[in-house]
Copies of this chain bind each other. A is one copy, B any other.
Amino acid sequence: MDDLAVRLGVHELLAAYVDCIDDDRLEEWPDFFTENCRYLITSRSDHASGLRHGVVYAASHGMLVDRVLALRKANIYEPHRYRHVVGPIRMRSVEDEIASVQSNFITVRIMHDGETALFATGRYLDRIAVSSQPFRFIERIVVLDSHKIDTLLVIPL
């Protein structure tokens, strides 16, 4: 697979991912990840310190599924949605059919009453399996710019 095809596939994956979340199709969200995977939401300072845990952490596809089930069942949070806008995607390397990719994002939160506010900003640091279609995340680390992790962090970023 040539460089351009990898770029287009990565681009499609990142766009489809935020679409899935913003469209509240969370049951499909785990399928953006490989069976053995790592999903982590962390803060810049924790990430810089090399800490491997985070506010949200999942180490397998099954843990992602569990998270969505819990989120749907608990339902204790005030209904809200996100809108993500992702900036240009940087391809850092493609080795052994794994692409290392990073991108900036801004997330806006829209509450049930229509109230809209800037919610989170940060970076996606991704390792993506590009050996077969569709591409999937082996690792997605969400590094938040602010350490004020909102208690409303229920929906994945």
Contacts and interface: CB of A to CB of B under 8 A. Distances in A.
A82 to B, nearest CB: 9
B110 A121 contact: yes
Interface string A67-103: 0000000000000010111111111000000000011
Query: How many A residues touch the partner, as a band?
Result: 35 or more
A154 interface: no
Contact of A145 (B18, B90, B110): B110
Interface of A: 4, 7-8, 11-12, 14-16, 18-19, 22, 81, 83-91, 102-106, 108, 110, 113-118, 120-123, 145-148
10 contacts: A12-B90, A14-B88, A15-B88, A22-B123, A85-B106, A88-B89, A108-B118, A110-B121, A114-B147, A116-B121
